[in-house]
Amino acid sequence: MAPPAQERKLPFGKIEPNTAKYFASCTLGGIIACGPTHTSVTPLDLVKCRRQVDPKIYTSNLSAWRSIFAKEGLRGVFFGWTPTLVGYSFQGAGKYGFYEYFKYLYGEQLFPNSNRTLVFLGASASAEFFADMALCPFEAVKVRMQTTLPPYAGTLREGWRKVAAKEGLGGLYKGIAPLWARQIPYTMTKFATFEETVSGLYWALGRPKESFGMLPQTGVSFLGGYIAGIFCAVVSHPADVMVSKLNADRKAGESASTAVSRIYRNIGFAGLWNGLPVRIVMLGTLTGFQWLIYDSFKVFLGLPTTGGH
């Protein structure tokens, strides 16, 4: 078993749980966990978004990557990585940092005797509400860049300037409502499923979490995250399709509700599930590695891994 945190030499000294330093550390962990992982799956995200907007554009994911690589090289396959990195780094900061804060606030300060699953759901929903405010402008630019041919813009800076010049701040935030509709259920599923899965895994192993070393604990975090990611993909996919459609095909002056109704009439219920298999693979892997990175960072700081308490 790994020695207790207080017996090891910690990189930034001992960090007390539920302090400002603790929440700041979790915020930094969220940046490290989310920004690079989302960026690494840009090729999957690029093809997924284009196929959601136009199912006939490619016959398969493999043919899509071959076609893009043949025309544009590796840069084309990773097109849109900059707004992805910046946007999801900001989102990760809010998602994980605020989650830890709201979990403490709801579970230990306001409602100490409430059901733990309700605490996980409430904390993750609150955290994602704020995290999406940071993500939304970058998501708007990313989707425009990835779903238009020829591309709406070649860089994050160019895309941001074009949207701001033509549509103002409202153009960068016109997708906030569908983004909340996609991300809040996604994050509620992600965190609550993760917490309950990790607890279930330790129960199945027949030993308390504290009896395992840090390497097995982070392995449990990865497995719990992967399982949570599968559930996340299914729950949030229809809203994900609609976000892509809205950012690519919303007419000037058209309200969100009118645009959603028009788009749904065009694609139908089946169209809301375009690209689901690739999103399951993407989010399962993504979520698994995010929890692995996040909890590994916490271990590096001398903090306990998430879940299983």
pLDDT tier for residue 1 given thresholds of 50, 70 and 90: very low
Residue 309: the pLDDT is 67
Handedness of CA 132, 237, 296, 83 (dihedral sign): negative
Residue 186: the pLDDT is 85
The 3-state DSSP class for residue 109 equals helix
Residue 8: the pLDDT is 60
Residue 7: the pLDDT is 53
Count Cβ neighbours within 10 Å for each residue of 135-154 and write b for 16 or more, e otherwise: bbbbbbbbbbbbbeeebbbe
Write out the DSSP string of 218-237. Answer: HHHHHHHHHHHHHHHHHHHH
Is the pTM value of this prediction over 0.85? Answer: no
Write out the DSSP string of 163-204. Answer: HHHHHHHHHHHTTHHHHHHHHHHHHHHHHHHHHHHHHHHHHH
pLDDT, averaged across the chain:
89
pLDDT in tens, 239-270: 878 877 776 777 777 787 888 888 888 888 88
Farthest CA pair distance, the chain: 62
Query: Could you tell me the domains of the chain?
Result: 15-173 (1.50.40.10), 185-308 (no CATH)
**What ranges in the chain are assigned the alpha helix state H?**
20-40, 42-53, 61-77, 81-104, 116-147, 156-173, 176-205, 214-249, 256-271, 276-300
pLDDT tier for residue 283 given thresholds of 50, 70 and 90: confident
| High-pLDDT (> 70) share of the chain, % | 95
Distance CA 47, CA 278 (A): 9
pLDDT tier for residue 6 given thresholds of 50, 70 and 90: very low
Distance CA 24, CA 96 (A): 10
pLDDT in tens, 48-101: 888 877 878 888 888 999 999 999 999 999 999 999 999 999 999 999 999 999
